[in-house]
Amino acid sequence: MTNISKGRILLHIKNGAHYFTEIVEKSGASSTTVDRYLRELERDGLIVAELDKKTRRPRYELTFT
């Protein structure tokens, strides 16, 4: 996959935080690819994973607007 998938991930979470499974579904990329890209985007400081207190699952959101 190309960096277009990273862009798709950013587009899908630009309007609010999303769970991993939602990002996989909306991006059309494999879960392995999404996992790798989320780690890279988080490492680069573009996104952050916040633990949802109700579900105890991480939700990913942008660090910029």
The predicted-structure confidence for 12-65, as pLDDT tens digits, reads as follows: 898 888 999 999 988 888 899 999 999 999 999 999 999 999 999 999 999 986
Q: How many residues are there in the chain?
A: 65
- What is the structure's pLDDT at 4? 66
- What is the structure's pLDDT at 1? 43
- What is the structure's pLDDT at 49? 95
- What is the structure's pLDDT at 22? 94
Q: What CATH number has the domain bearing residue 56? A: 1.10.10.10
What's the total number of domains in the chain?
1
Domain that holds residue 52: 4-62
pTM: 0.85
Strands (E), 1-65: 18-19, 47-51, 58-62
Q: What are phi and psi of 59, to 5 degrees?
A: -120, 135
